[in-house]
């Protein structure tokens, strides 16, 4: 086991406040997602792909208890009898409603009690030295874990039937600037991954050099309007655009459009968090599988970018030669940089967030929609599991494809230029979109 590298420039008290803020921000969001519906909606399973919301709520508290109270704080277990119930690897999502889950009121009391004790530990512990506490890593890990489950719960809200339970203002409009369709990313080496980001997770490590040939990348994610043209041109009926597995999958399940789309009265409509509305042509397409993204790219005479191409476009500064934390630089995201944190409940129009552009002018690499890449989820050279194998290592291999960049449902604590997400190529309930690439030769 290896500890994450410390950022020695961070003042210990500033680091403590950062950890507390990240934990409180996550908890505020969890509260919103679990109090906006009544108890039957909390305990129901809205899709066999997802857990009941009340399972996620107590699982959040149980993970916090196991890592921050027991492992970091050395405290006695509060509820050891529920550890197996909330073990994500022991019980598949489809089976969780049959478990003896904590009732909503009991789950809320449990997570509240755990959090109070965790904040007490955070006030007293030295955030340096031991692997789990160095640079506040365990606190950052748990804040990221809760935010990842908040995104999962938001997916459940999208899948649930019934009137809207969540509201949010629309994202800011695009600035109207004329953008080129694609950007040339020069070839050459760059530094991929990180060895210095204090809260980076194990699959982001270590930093290493990659040589990436020159390629062209879409300036923005592929839009609904562009995807509609793919559908209209027989994209779902032409075998030649699909991999063998992808074709078999869409035939078996009768897929003809992105998830939540339907054709009515000569137009495409979509269901979004309980509201049915016309599909906005200017927004990035969302709720498409890897198979659909790959087929679209083939139809367009292009391909999905590799993971290293995506990261080079998002982080490499051609002027200095260094890799940035984000496309715009090293500063943390603000609402002017990217659509993150469930602020808008939808992607922003393609071409939005000019302040978030990369040095070469690629936009919306962070936020809006997770972007499928062509790459399998594999370890970096020198990878070591930390602090447990089940976070990343057990998923490595050709079964899972890498997604990058985050979505409107992702909080900034769980989104950076090095952050890696992964999922099965059939997944569509996630907030997934894509952009395409082509060789520069």
**275-302: per-residue pLDDT in tens?**
999 999 999 999 999 999 999 999 999 9
Lookup: tokens for 26? 């996550």
Nearest CA to 275 out of 260, 258, 257, 256 is that of 260
**Segments of the chain assigned to CATH 3.90.1580.10:** 169-441
Largest alpha-carbon pair distance within the chain? 64
**103 three-state secondary structure:** coil
The mean pLDDT value for 34-59 works out to 97
The mean pLDDT value for 323-351 works out to 98
Indicate if the pLDDT at residue 383 is higher than 90: yes
Q: Is 329 left (phi over 0), alpha (psi -120 to 50) or beta?
A: left
pLDDT at 137: 97
Q: Which residues contact 138 (CB under 8 A, 6 or more apart)?
A: 67, 68, 71, 72, 132, 387
Q: HEC profile for 375-429?
A: EEECCCCCCCCCCCCCCCHHHCEEEEEEEECCCCCCCHHHCCCCCCEEECCCCCC
The mean pLDDT value for 386-412 works out to 97
Indicate if the pLDDT at residue 5 is higher than 60: no
E-strand ranges in 219-324 read: 261-264, 267-272, 275-278
- Separation of alpha carbons 58 and 61, rounded Å: 5
pLDDT at 242: 98
What pLDDT band is residue 177 in, cutting at 50, 70 and 90?
confident
Q: Which residues contact 379 (CB under 8 A, 6 or more apart)?
A: 203, 392, 393, 396
Indicate if the pLDDT at residue 2 is higher than 90: no
Indicate if the pLDDT at residue 183 is higher than 80: yes
- How much of the chain, in percent, has pLDDT values that exceed 90? 94
DSSP 326: B
DSSP 316: B
Helix axes 53-64, 104-124, angle to 10 degrees: 30
What pLDDT band is residue 245 in, cutting at 50, 70 and 90?
very high
What pLDDT band is residue 410 in, cutting at 50, 70 and 90?
very high
Indicate if the pLDDT at residue 415 is higher than 50: yes
Ranges 7-11, 38-42, 106-110, 148-152: which has the least confidence? 7-11
pLDDT at 11: 83
Report DSSP letters for 137-187, one per residue: HHHHHHHHHHHHHHHHHHHHHHHS-SS-----PPPPPP------SEEEE--
Fold exhibited by the domain 12-159: 1.20.120
The mean pLDDT value for 227-246 works out to 98
The mean pLDDT value for 200-220 works out to 98
What are the pLDDT digits (tens) for 88-124? 999 999 999 999 999 999 999 999 999 999 999 999 9
Indicate if the pLDDT at residue 9 is higher than 60: no
Sign of the torsion formed by the C-alpha atoms of 172, 176, 182 and 183: negative
Residues belonging to the binding site for gamma-L-glutamyl-L-cysteine are: 93-96, 423, 427
pLDDT at 254: 98
The single residue listed with the structure tokens 């208890």 is: 65
Average pLDDT, the chain: 96
What are the pLDDT digits (tens) for 132-175? 999 999 999 999 999 999 999 999 999 999 999 999 999 999 88
The mean pLDDT value for 393-406 works out to 98
pLDDT at 176: 79
Residues belonging to the binding site are: 59, 93-96, 145, 149, 423, 427
Residues belonging to the binding site for Fe cation are: 59, 145, 149
Sign of the torsion formed by the C-alpha atoms of 150, 154, 157 and 159: negative
Nearest CA to 413 out of 38, 28, 55 is that of 28
CB 246 within 8 A of CB 425: yes
* Burial class (CB within 10 angstroms; exposed 0-12, middle 13-18, buried 19+) of 124: exposed
Entry pTM? 0.95
β-pairing, 432-433 vs 370-377, is parallel
* Burial class (CB within 10 angstroms; exposed 0-12, middle 13-18, buried 19+) of 317: middle
Q: How many CB atoms lie within 10 A of CB 54?
A: 24
Indicate if the pLDDT at residue 4 is higher than 90: no
What are the pLDDT digits (tens) for 48-66? 999 999 999 999 999 999 9
**Segments of the chain assigned to CATH 1.20.120:** 12-159
Lookup: tokens for 393? 């290592």
| Architecture of the structural domain at 169-441 | Alpha-Beta Complex (3.90)
């Amino acid at each position: 086991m290896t500890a994450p590298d410390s950022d020695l420039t961070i003042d210990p008290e500033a680091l403590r406040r950062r950890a507390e803020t990240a934990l409180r921000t996550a908890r505020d969001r969890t509260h919103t997602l679990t109090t906006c519906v009544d108890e039957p909606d909390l305990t129901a399973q809205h899709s066999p792909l997802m857990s009941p919301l009340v399972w996620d709520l107590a699982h959040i508290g149980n993970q916090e208890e196991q890592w921050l109270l027991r492992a970091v704080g050395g405290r006695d277990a509060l509820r050891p009898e529920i550890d197996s119930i909330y073990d994500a690897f022991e019980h598949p999502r489809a089976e969780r409603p049959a478990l003896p889950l904590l009732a909503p009121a009991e789950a809320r009391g449990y997570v509240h009690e755990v959090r109070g004790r965790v904040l007490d530990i955070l006030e007293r512990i030295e955030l340096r030295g031991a692997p789990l506490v160095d640079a506040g890593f365990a606190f950052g890990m748990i804040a990221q874990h809760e935010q990842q489950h908040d995104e999962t719960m938001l997916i459940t809200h999208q899948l649930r039937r019934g009137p809207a339970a969540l509201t949010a203002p629309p994202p800011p409009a695009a600035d109207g600037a004329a953008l080129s369709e694609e950007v040339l990313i020069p070839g050459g080496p760059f530094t991929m991954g990180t060895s210095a980001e204090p809260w980076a997770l194990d699959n982001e490590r270590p930093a290493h050099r990659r040589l990436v040939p020159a390629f062209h990348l879409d300036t923005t994610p592929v839009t609904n309007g562009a995807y509609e043209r793919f559908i209209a041109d027989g994209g779902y009926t032409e075998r030649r655009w699909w991999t063998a597995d992808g074709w078999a999958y869409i035939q078996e399940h009768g897929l003809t459009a992105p998830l939540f789309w339907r054709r009515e009265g000569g137009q495409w409509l979509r269901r979004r968090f309980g509201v049915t509305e016309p599909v906005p042509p200017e927004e990035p397409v969302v709720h498409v599988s890897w198979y659909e993204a790959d087929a679209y790219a083939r139809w367009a005479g292009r391909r999905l970018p590799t993971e290293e191409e995506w990261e080079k476009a998002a982080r490499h500064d051609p002027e200095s030669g260094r890799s940035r934390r984000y496309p715009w630089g090293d500063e943390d995201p603000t609402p002017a940089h990217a659509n993150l944190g469930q602020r808008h409940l939808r992607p922003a129009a393609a071409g939005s967030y000019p302040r978030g552009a990369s040095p070469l002018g690629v936009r919306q690499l962070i936020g809006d929609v997770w972007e499928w890449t062509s790459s399998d989820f594999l370890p970096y050279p020198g990878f070591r599991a930390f602090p447990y194998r089940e976070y990343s290592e057990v998923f490595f291999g050709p079964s899972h494809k890498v997604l990058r960049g985050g979505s409107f449902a992702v909080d900034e604590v769980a989104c950076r230029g090095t952050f890696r997400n992964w999922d099965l190529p059939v997944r569509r309930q996630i907030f997934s979109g894509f952009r395409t690439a082509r060789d520069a030769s």
